[in-house]
């Protein structure tokens, strides 16, 4: 099978995508960064020759030697670059969050539909080994019916927030919290209603709350909670707990094991099972493999444009609820 030819635009987190794509046998046909130093660094690091290095993504749109583009530029530019590559007939893997506004997510869905090309959103937690195992335990019935699920995104942004991440539109709930929201949607379905509180204690340099807690209601009265803290004084975690009628699972993308309680013959949970799991919270290779399979038509993309937009919709509903003090029902009509 011929190797997919890929352009990677934005070469900071984008370097993880170069590695992911190379690990899957794709050919890096072009790399692009408007910052010449970042371009040079990535080019030298991955042995990409000068003729394949660009500072303006528009130079790539007409090239016939590119099948797909990976967009890893600041969130505010996701719409512009994704729509440009889609309109040029390329498939796109766009970093999370898909975009920061409803207007942008809808425009990106339209661009993918009009072009008949795949727009996949890089919700990478769906490829985290612990969360893949959690999904398996939900789907094979080990946990029974879920009645409550919670996830948190706690990550100290103190040192990384003095740039485009300080934009009021780039609220912590959508910027990083979208990982926890997407995870709950993947495991529990689409929340019908959310209610949230927020507070601001830790990051003077951002114009939004740096901690938010949201409760949510899914179908069948299943309940959920997401906690987001972007100034927390602790190491990075996405601790996630799933409570089902037959068992309870405690897992994290930063822990080498997960804890599973299941009910014995007497209906009680006794000693938990400790399940070892690989720690890999940026599994770009599996994500890229999934993107490639979807392009080839062998599988559907787990986070296509509408799926990415739903996660943004829930994040925006949480932010809105924390601001108004009212419950919000996400609008999935796109
Ligand atoms: N999946 C994850 O866990 C994860 C982790 C980190 C970042 N991200 C996402 O990846 C994206 C990039 O984040 P980052 O941390 O690398 O940001 P960054 O600011 O560190 O780097 C962005 C890079 O893009 C370049 N760039 C900006 N605008 C450009 C343009 N128009 N054309 C070409 N290059 C451009 C910049 O020069 C810079 O090198 C964001 O969407 C972010 O949310 C995802």
Segment 85-99 shows an average pLDDT of 98
Nearest-atom index, ligand 1, CA of 176: 43
Angstrom distances, CA of residue 116 to CA of 91, 96, 130: 9, 21, 34
Q: How far is the CA of 12 from the centre of ligand 1 (A)?
A: 6
Query: pLDDT category, 215, cuts 50, 70, 90?
Result: very high
pLDDT digits (tens, 9 = 90+) for 96-109: 999 999 999 999 99
Residue 163, classed as helix, strand or coil, is coil
Distance of CA 261 to the CA centre of its chain: 28
For residue 49, count other CB atoms closer than 10 A to its CB.
7
Segment 251-256 shows an average pLDDT of 97
pLDDT digits (tens, 9 = 90+) for 222-241: 999 999 999 999 999 999 99
Q: How far is the CA of 215 from the centre of ligand 1 (A)?
A: 30
Nearest-atom index, ligand 1, CA of 122: 1
Q: How far is the CA of 317 from the centre of ligand 1 (A)?
A: 25
Class of domain 5-123+284-301: alpha beta
Please check the confidence at residue 1 and state whether its pLDDT lies above 90. no
Predicted pLDDT of residue 161: 84
**Degrees, nearest 5: CA angle 159-163-164:** 125
Distance of CA 81 to the CA centre of its chain: 18
pLDDT digits (tens, 9 = 90+) for 145-178: 999 999 999 999 998 887 999 999 999 999 999 9
Q: How far is the CA of 174 from the centre of ligand 1 (A)?
A: 15
Q: In the chain, pLDDT over 90 holds for what percent of residues?
A: 96
Please report the sign of the dihedral spanned by the C-alpha atoms of residue 237, residue 322, residue 320, residue 306: positive
Segment 58-80 shows an average pLDDT of 97
Q: Whole-angstrom distance between the N-terminal and C-terminal Cα of the chain?
A: 35
- Domain ranges in the chain are 5-123+284-301, 126-281+313-324
193-199 and 257-262 as β-strands: parallel, antiparallel, unpaired? unpaired
Residue nearest to atom 30 of ligand 1 (CA): 34
Please check the confidence at residue 310 and state whether its pLDDT lies above 90. yes
Segment 68-97 shows an average pLDDT of 98
Predicted pLDDT of residue 62: 94
Predicted pLDDT of residue 299: 94
Distance CA 3, CA 239 (A): 37
Architecture of the CATH domain 126-281+313-324: 2-Layer Sandwich (3.30)
| Structure tokens, 84 | 């440009």
Q: What is the DSSP letter of 296?
A: T
Q: Candidates 13, 38, 125: which one to mutate for ligand 1, based on the most atoms within 8 Å of Cβ?
A: 13
Classify the phi-psi angles of 230: left when phi > 0, otherwise alpha if psi is within -120 to 50, otherwise beta.
Answer: alpha
Q: Candidates 9, 10, 180: which one to mutate for ligand 1, based on the most atoms within 8 Å of Cβ?
A: 10
Do 71 and 104 form a contact (C-beta atoms < 8 A)?
no
| pTM recorded for the entire structure | 0.97
Question: Quick check: do 5-123+284-301 and 126-281+313-324 share a fold?
Answer: no
Segment 200-221 shows an average pLDDT of 95
Ligand 1 neighbours (beta carbon < 6 A): 9-13, 32-35, 38, 57, 72-75, 77, 95-96, 122, 124, 163, 282
Q: How far is the CA of 189 from the centre of ligand 1 (A)?
A: 29
- Which one, of 277, 305, 276, 300, lies nearest residue 290 by Cα? 300
**Degrees, nearest 5: CA angle 10-15-20:** 120
Q: How far is the CA of 249 from the centre of ligand 1 (A)?
A: 33
pLDDT digits (tens, 9 = 90+) for 25-54: 999 999 999 999 999 999 999 999 999 999
Please report the sign of the dihedral spanned by the C-alpha atoms of residue 225, residue 327, residue 175, residue 32: positive
Please check the confidence at residue 286 and state whether its pLDDT lies above 80. yes
Please check the confidence at residue 277 and state whether its pLDDT lies above 90. yes
């Amino acid at each position: 099978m011929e190797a997919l030819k890929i352009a990677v635009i934005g070469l900071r987190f984008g370097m993880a995508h170069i590695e992911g794509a190379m690990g899957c046998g794709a050919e890096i046909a072009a790399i692009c960064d408007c910052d010449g130093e970042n371009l040079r660094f990535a080019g030298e690091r991955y042995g990409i020759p000068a003729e394949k290095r660009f500072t303006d993504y528009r130079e790539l749109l007409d090239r016939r030697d590119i099948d797909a583009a990976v967009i890893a530029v600041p969130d505010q530019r996701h719409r512009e670059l994704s729509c440009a590559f889609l309109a040029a007939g390329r498939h796109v893997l766009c970093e999370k969050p898909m975009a920061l506004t409803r207007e942008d997510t809808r425009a990106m869905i339209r661009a993918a539909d009009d072009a008949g090309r795949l727009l996949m959103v890089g919700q990478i937690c769906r490829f985290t080994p612990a969360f893949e195992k959690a999904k398996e335990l939900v789907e094979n019935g080990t946990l029974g019916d879920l009645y409550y699920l919670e996830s948190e995104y706690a990550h100290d942004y103190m040192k990384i927030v003095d740039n485009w991440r300080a934009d009021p539109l780039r609220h912590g709930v959508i910027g990083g919290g979208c990982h926890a929201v997407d995870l709950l949607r993947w495991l529990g379905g689409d929340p019908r209603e959310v209610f949230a509180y927020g507070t601001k204690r830790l990051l003077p340099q951002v114009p939004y709350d740096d901690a938010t807690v949201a409760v949510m209601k899914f179908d069948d009265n299943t309940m959920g909670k997401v906690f987001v803290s972007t100034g927390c004084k602790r190491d990075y975690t996405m601790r996630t707990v799933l409570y089902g009628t037959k068992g309870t699972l405690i897992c994290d993308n930063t822990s080498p094991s997960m804890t599973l309680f299941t009910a014995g013959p007497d209906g009680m949970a006794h000693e938990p099972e400790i399940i070892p799991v690989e720690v890999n919270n940026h599994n770009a290779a599996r994500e890229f493999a999934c993107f490639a399979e979807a392009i080839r038509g062998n599988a559907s993309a787990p986070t296509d444009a509408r799926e990415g937009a739903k996660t943004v919709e829930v994040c925006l509903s949480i932010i809105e609820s924390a601001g108004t003090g009212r419950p919000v029902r996400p609008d999935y009509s796109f």
